[in-house]
Amino acid sequence: MPYYGCHLSISKGFEAMGKDALFIGADTFAFFPRNPRGGQMRPLDGLDIQRLTGLLQDHEFGPLVAHAPYIYNMATGDPEASAVVRQRMKEDLERLDHLPYVYYNIHPGAHVGQGQDQGAANVAGVIQEVLSEGFRTPILLETMAGKGTELGGQFENLDAILSKLGYHSQVGVCLDTCHVSDAGYDVAQDLDGVLDQLDQVVGLDRLWAVHVNDSKNPVGSHKDRHELLGDGTLGLDFFRSLVQNPRLQDLPMILETPNKKLEGYKREIAMLRAFEQGATVQEAQARLEDEPAQ
């Protein structure tokens, strides 16, 4: 079965994130190792990480998903900017290597006019240098909505990066449901067809995590605007089919929906679990009538 979680704040430390995850019924979660807009990381607290590790083991959590700051642009051709990204990625991975089982998810970046092939080469160059340091944490390239010159809006963009890395065993893909729909892949109407395309281009063996988000905009909009589950254009029937799809079992599924409080994520996780157990949309909604709203 899949693992379910959401983005949690690292402001109170690693163990606190684990406790928040238990409160919302999660068995995975995502976090930013530093501020999502960049900046410094809090000092490493080995005891805090040790306590989180024990919590994860005691409650049989799946893999966690750390998210790189949004400002990292691996596709840039600017040597100074690229050097900063490489250094900060190394710092992030050095920290993440202290955790037992975590992926490092990152947006491929934008080629800003250099062209997709050169952008892919730049991304591959950054990842190759970073991995040459010997870090063990796997890296995930996220599917994107295809805004402007950003890479990842087409599965072929991701394959171009992977091929330039020699299909490195430590690099995989994270599929974002809002992003792929906004990019033009009609997952709401043909999830299996889109998974077939991903399998043909990249390989489903490279799909290691899923971001579970509804979209404010129609398929092919290239907007990247997340919505609460069921309040967007993908709809609850799609998310029911998502968690029941046999090709997506055992993956961490991370909510990035615009909930205001943890209770909102608790409701969405409970709904996904109900879908997994075979509940219809109506049955799942009925089960949640007494749950607190977000």
Residue 156 to residue 168: CA distance in whole angstroms = 16
Q: What is the DSSP letter of 2?
A: -
Residue 18 confidence (pLDDT): 98
Please report the pLDDT score of residue 294 as a whole number.
Answer: 45
Single-letter amino acid code for the residue at 292? P
User: Quick one: DSSP state of residue 233?
Assistant: S
Q: Provide the pLDDT for residue 290.
A: 56
Pairing of strands 214-215, 226-227: antiparallel
Secondary structure element (H or E) that encloses residue 103, with its range: strand 102-106
* Alpha helix ranges (H) inside 59-164: 79-96, 116-131, 155-164
The single-letter DSSP state of residue 74 is T
- The pLDDT assigned to 241 comes to 97
Q: What's the burial of 14, exposed, middle or buried (CB within 10 Å: 0-12/13-18/19+)?
A: buried
Q: Three-class SS of residue 66?
A: strand
Instruction: Enumerate the β-bridge partners of residue 104.
Output: 66, 139
What pLDDT is stored for residue 291 in this prediction? Answer: 57
CA dist., res. 82 & res. 38, Å (int): 14
- For residues 233 and 196, the answer to whether their CB atoms sit within 8 Å is no
Spans in the chain with pLDDT lower than 70 = 38, 289-294
